[in-house]
Amino acid sequence: MTEFPLPSAPPRLLDDEAMRRFVREGYVVLKSELPTEFHDRMHAALDALDERGPLGHNNLLPCVPELAFLLDEPVVRGALTSILGPGYYLHFHRHDHFALNNEAQALHKDGDNHSHNAVDGLRRIHRTRFAMLFYYPQDTPLEKGPTGIVPRSQYVPRRALEAARYRLNEFNNRIRKEIEAEIGESAFSPRGRELWRERRQRFHAENPETMAELKALDEPWESAKIPMLGDAGTVTIVHFDMVHGRYSANTTDLSRHMVKFLFTRDREPVGPAWNGNAAPWPADDDPLGPVWRATWDWHRHSTPGRCRFRMPSALDALDGADDHTALGAAYTLGAQAKWRKDGLDALLDRFLGDDLGRRVVAAYGVVAAGEAGVPRLVEALHDADAELAARIIDVLGDIGPPAASALTELTSATGHQDVNVRRYAAEALGTVAQGTHFDAEVLAGPLADEDALVRRNAALATARLAPEIGGRDDLVPALAENLYHWHHHVRGWSIEALQRLGSPAAKDVALRYLSAARWDPMPKSGDTPTGAPAPKGVVKAVTML
């Protein structure tokens, strides 16, 4: 019998050096301690699934439940605990990236719409509230087409590249609509795909300058990517916004799997969650040094120290086109806000302005300023139109508990007539209200909102605020109803919220739903005669005891 580590084994936490490396580089590589036969079984089981169908994708774990042994390994739980804090949870989105005779994949950051939408389509969350886990169940040398990543890319907005891609996406969307109107069927049908290829090729031929610009903007990222090579059982945990993609083609005749799991932080940091003394970030001359230092301080729940800088130089960098130096300047101005009001004023002026590139970068500095910027944000929120209100609320939510003085405004915004404002307000409550005397009834309206993403964000907020809500069952009926909502995000966060609330009523609803929703990808397997070989594709049952 194969022995597996029990989930009760203590997590093996990262040390200071490993945690600093994650903050700076954006990833950490681990090695599973499960036996080779386990990874062989996982590879065989994954081969039998359909990556894009019901037997795979978000249903991957129910189809191969033995993968949970890997996620429960002390080395894996320790790294995730160090990065996301105790009480992190496994997100309902997961995906097996299957490669067989494929080609290299364009570098990208994953769509962040699983639980949060980037304001302006560009401002993502730097603070580590989400992380991804990549798992190889087979040896993955270069010829197998490994995943590629760009170290230190997780905080960089890539403003020029994303603007160029946005323009290209506008063309793609227009072509898709034209094709569907022309042929009366989906642009992803065989005929639609054929027309799509023809028109894209024509566009590329007729717009060589546009395509050359896009290639030039992509080139530095392509040059900086590295292949994530590894033996079977290699696990890599990356910041959610890491730039990544398939490094190269799989040139073998063998399948390559890379199983991706997404994990979510439950609570804002109240101190270091890793094993170390969490000393201050060392002196660093890198343009992104202030970003790393602020992220490190957030993880260890520490306020920044005072530093010297020249305001004219900082403002020039803040307004410059270079993403790295602009971010460094924004974080420097934000971290020094309680000593240098003129720096905070400069950040807020740009954040509240109309220049997309400048306001995105300035927003990170406003977040770094923390409580110092909240009064001005609240003041601006009172007179803001819906677009600006969503941006302000997004920043308040990113600031988290230091923005608690804005809770009245955030609560009011959950009833705003604009759906986007309601979405960000419901989400922001989940971070800002931590550690306060929170009234659970505030989330009753958002949990019943007509918009699916408002409900999703309210369920996420409920899960995060379970300690503040305590044993009250006010929200259990709404969460129970949302278990049968049409949107899988609403269902996914609602079941998580019920489990986090933990009252007898909440647990009963959760258990009843999970008992009914569980399924077996190989029906009638119980009819197999004793001693007969398992049907093809079925993972051999293994006990942990």
Could you tell me if residue 216 is left (phi over 0), alpha (psi between -120 and 50 degrees) or otherwise beta?
alpha
Rounded Cα gap, residues 498 and 494, in angstroms? 6
Token pair of 220, please?
């530095």
Where in 341-383 does DSSP place strands (E)?
none
Which phi and psi angles does 45 have, rounded to 5°? -65, -40
Identify the pLDDT of residue 117: 79
Angle between helix 323-335 and helix 311-318 axes, rounded to 10 deg: 130
Is 301:271 a contact under the CB 8 Å cutoff? yes
Rounded Cα gap, residues 197 and 477, in angstroms? 49
Angle between helix 159-183 and helix 190-206 axes, rounded to 10 deg: 130
Identify the pLDDT of residue 541: 41
Q: Which helix (H) or strand (E) holds 76?
A: helix 74-84
Sign of the dihedral defined by the CA atoms of residues 371, 375, 378, 383, in that order = negative
- Strand, helix or coil at 264? strand
Domain boundary assignment for the chain: 16-150+227-264, 161-221
Its pTM surpasses 0.85 = yes
SS (H, E, C) 178-225: HHHHHHCCCCCCHHHHHHHHHHHHHHHHHCHHHHHHHHHHHHHHHHHC
Non-local CB neighbours of 393 within 8 Å, separated by 6+ positions: 381, 410, 413, 421, 424, 425, 428
Rounded Cα gap, residues 59 and 40, in angstroms? 20
Return the bridge partners of 359, or none: none
Rounded Cα gap, residues 276 and 274, in angstroms? 6
Identify the pLDDT of residue 101: 66
Is 208:214 a contact under the CB 8 Å cutoff? no
* First-last CA distance in the chain: 10
Is 180:195 a contact under the CB 8 Å cutoff? no
Question: Residue 539 to residues 99, 177, 181, 245, 264: CA-CA distances in angstroms?
Answer: 21, 44, 46, 29, 28
Identify the pLDDT of residue 98: 85
Identify the pLDDT of residue 529: 61
Rounded Cα gap, residues 378 and 376, in angstroms? 5
Rounded Cα gap, residues 133 and 261, in angstroms? 5
Q: What is the mean pLDDT of each run of 10 residues along the chain (545 residues)?
A: 60 98 99 97 92 79 94 98 97 87 82 75 94 98 95 96 88 90 90 90 90 92 96 98 93 94 97 94 95 98 90 96 98 95 97 96 98 98 98 98 98 98 98 97 98 98 97 96 96 96 96 88 60 53 36
Is 183:193 a contact under the CB 8 Å cutoff? no
Question: How many beta carbons lie within 10 A of that of residue 52, not counting itself?
Answer: 11
Q: Which CATH number fits domain 16-150+227-264: 2.60.120.620, 3.20.20.80, 3.40.220.10, 3.60.15.10?
A: 2.60.120.620
Rounded Cα gap, residues 197 and 534, in angstroms? 44
Pairing mode, if any, of strands 27-31 and 234-239?
antiparallel
